[in-house]
Amino acid sequence: MKKRNIIVALSLVLGASTLSGAAFATVTEKSAKTAPADARMMTLHAMMPMLSVASAGLKTALEKGETASVEKEAEKILAAIPALKKSRPHKNVKQRKIYLKLAAKLEETVTSTVGLAKKGDFAGAKTAFQKVEATCVACHVKFRD
């Protein structure tokens, strides 16, 4: 009788630990797969309005020929590139290579826009800026809902 009680108690303990083990596995799996992905998406939501404001500012600065403002607005966009590369879109998530390429292209086009403006070539800078806008659009077409 006593032995049986011990066995029952033991299997209860084992059962409980197996259960909590399973629960633990679910939680860690969730935080490993879901939470960072959500965080990466949140980054994107937080970042895009800033990109929008900065690129509008860049456009205005180019029209006015204000090199200092061009640099300031371009800096904001360039500072966001590493986070953009780490972010994760909702759509076509698997096409990561293209996503990273477009993020790199944003960096390139903004860099060449500011480079031309600094040389005083505002006509060239405006043409380069059209490629910035085209890159925003290209990424949205493929990766934005």
Q: Is 103 in the site for ligand HEC (CB under 6 A)?
A: yes
Q: How many residues does the chain have?
A: 145
Q: Is there a contact between 91 and 145 (Cβ–Cβ < 8 Å)?
A: yes
Question: With contacts defined by CB under 6 A, how many residues of the chain interact with ligand HEC?
Answer: 24
- Of 122 and 143, the one with the shorter C-beta distance to ligand HEC is 143
Closest of 138, 114, 139 to residue 126, by C-alpha: 114
Q: For residues 86 and 107, give the distance between their C-alpha atoms in angstroms, rounded to a whole number.
A: 14
Q: Give the range of 3-11, 17-25, 47-55, 115-123 binding ligand HEC by CB under 6 A.
A: 47-55
Query: What six digits make up the tokens of 138?
Result: 């290209």
Binding ligand HEC (rule: CB under 6 A), the pick from 89, 114, 122, 128 is 89
Query: Site map for ligand HEC, 2-41, x if CB under 6 A?
Result: ---------------------------------------x
Query: Site map for ligand HEC, 62-81, x if CB under 6 A?
Result: ---------------x----
- End-to-end, the C-alpha distance of the chain in Å comes to 65
Q: Is there a contact between 119 and 89 (Cβ–Cβ < 8 Å)?
A: no
Q: For residues 57 and 10, give the distance between their C-alpha atoms in angstroms, rounded to a whole number.
A: 69
Residues that bind ligand HEC (CB under 6 A): 41, 44-45, 48-49, 51-52, 55, 77, 84, 89-90, 99, 102-103, 106, 132, 135-136, 139-140, 143-145
